[in-house]
Amino acid sequence: MLPIYQPYLPPSCLKYAHDALDSTWISSQGVYIDKAKEKLKEIIGSKYVIMVNNGTCATHMLALGLKFKYPNLRKIIVPNNVYVAAWNSFLFSGGFDFEVVDADLATWNIDSSKIQGTGKDTALLVVHNLGNIINVPALKKKHPDLLIVEDNCEGLFGKYDGQYSGTASLMSSLSFFGNKTITSGEGGAVLTQDEQLFEYLNSVRGQGQSSVRYVHDKLGYNYRMTNIQAALLYGQLEMLDEIRSKKADVFALYKKELEGVDEIRFQQLEPNTEHAQWMFAVRFDGFDLTRKRMLELFLFENSIETRPMFYNINDHAHLKSIPSDNTIANQLNHQCLILPSFPELTRSQILTVTRKIKDFLRTQ
């Protein structure tokens, strides 16, 4: 079976993980936590970086940061077709009301033209679906009073206006899960340019520890990254150019082979943005859910693993009562398919995937 994703882990990027194991510093202290943090800061250009144990915890820290800095804030504008962790993270601690905005058929992200009623007690959660970047600087110009935070777990290394995504908002979250462009198995990070938020969230992720050991001055969580995770991440960051080059080749060949196919539509980019090239997916214009599932089954029977586009917010039992227009979100779920997208995907494998898709379109 050709998998949807597998991490790129050559021996050269594992040497630091082995060193961390040999050092016996295997928990939340050790040299690689600072090494990975400083390397990430150098690459991304964020003033402050907080390393955490996974992307969901990182996104929860966005909610905690908003509660801390803006205690009167209640309304969160959210997209309606993202991975469920983005919504859950703002429900863990309560106190937020969702205003849900439908998706855009071209970009598959939130339809920013429908964002209304912004103000000082309102925040927008930006999510870069599959790595397609929303232009946050443009949104800030259009809505200068709107607080913006980014779930950048899928958008890492994408760009808007020439800077890396996650760096133009109040805070952003990253994920280093096993299916991300760079990985530490699990793991995540929070980026911010705000010193006050950094100091607060850096304490919160470590049980709310004060400057006096075992004295805690706030409610905190154990969201710390381990030295082993950080060592693996540091090895990945050292070979980032190689990984991203391989991913770019994968995306380019898919587009070359599927361009011009009548039913196929690609994700469209916003002006002045660069796709992060996390997962490659296509939309099959005119498909209904039945035909899309027939294609999924056909590819599975030909040993090709795929994934659907995310479901609308109301398809999840604990979120079904939240008011939402899901017209475009449903269309995207019924028509989009995520294809194998890992760095070591070969030319032959990509040609097999695209040939099988074309075979299905010709015969079904």
pLDDT tens digits, 201-227: 999 999 998 888 888 988 999 999 999
pLDDT value at 118 more than 90: no
- Cα separation, 79 vs 127, whole angstroms: 7
Helix/strand number for the chain, H first, E second: 11, 14
Token output for 360: 């299905």
Q: How is residue 81 annotated by DSSP?
A: S
Per-residue confidence (pLDDT) for residue 210, from 0 to 100: 84
What pLDDT is stored for residue 120 in this prediction? 76
The architecture in CATH of the region 240-363 reads Alpha-Beta Complex (3.90)
Q: Give burial (CB, 10 Å; 0-12/13-18/19+) of 30.
A: buried
Mean pLDDT of the chain: 96
- Given this structure, which CATH class describes domain 11-238? alpha beta
pLDDT digits (tens, 9 = 90+) for 161-212: 999 999 999 999 999 999 999 999 999 999 999 999 999 999 999 999 888 8
Give percent of the chain with pLDDT exceeding 70: 100
CB-neighbour burial class of residue 195 (10 A; exposed 0-12, middle 13-18, buried 19+): exposed
Q: Quick one: pLDDT band at residue 281, thresholds 50, 70, 90? A: very high
96: tokens are 């937020």
Task: Report d(CA 158, CA 334) in Å as an integer.
Answer: 26
- Element housing 356 (H / E): helix 347-363
- Residue 87: pLDDT band (50, 70, 90) is very high
Question: Percent of the chain scored above 90 by pLDDT?
Answer: 91
DSSP 135-177: -HHHHHHH-TT-EEEEE-TTTTT-EETTEETTSSSSEEEEE-B
Mean pLDDT of 334-352: 98
d(CA 362, CA 309): 23
> Edge-to-edge strands of the sheet including 147-151?
48-52, 188-192, 171-175, 147-151, 122-127, 75-79, 97-101
Give the per-residue pLDDT at 209.
87
Rounded CA-CA distance 319/314 in Å is 5
Per-residue pLDDT, 297: 98
Are the beta carbons of 126 and 77 closer than 8 angstroms? Answer: no
Backbone Cα Rg of the chain: 21
Q: At what angle do helices 240-258 and 227-238 cross, to 10 degrees?
A: 60
What are the tens digits of pLDDT across the range 31-83? 999 999 999 999 999 999 999 999 999 999 999 999 999 999 999 999 999 99
b/e sequence 273-302, b meaning 16+ C-beta within 10 Å = bbbbbbbbbbbbeebeeebbeebbebbeee
Closest CA to 120 of 164, 79, 170: 170
Q: Which pLDDT does position 275 carry in this prediction?
A: 98
Sheet containing strand 159-160, edge to edge, reads 163-164, 159-160, 273-274
State yes or no: pLDDT of 119 exceeds 80.
no
pLDDT (0 to 100) of residue 249: 98
Q: Are 171 and 165 a contacting pair, CB within 8 Å?
A: no
pLDDT computed for residue 341 by the predictor: 98
Scan for tokens 């709107």, then name that residue: 146
The answer to whether 139 and 124 are in contact (CB under 8 A) is yes
Task: State in Å, rounded, how far the first CA of the chain is from the last one.
Answer: 23
pLDDT at 213: 87
Structure confidence at residue 265 (pLDDT): 98
Query: Of 111, 115, 40, 47, which Cα lies nearest the Cα of 77?
Result: 115
Predicted local distance difference test score (pLDDT) of residue 27: 87
Residue ranges of domains in the chain: 11-238, 240-363
Tell me what pLDDT residue 80 has: 97
Q: What contacts 70, CB < 8 A, 6 or more positions away?
A: 121, 123, 147
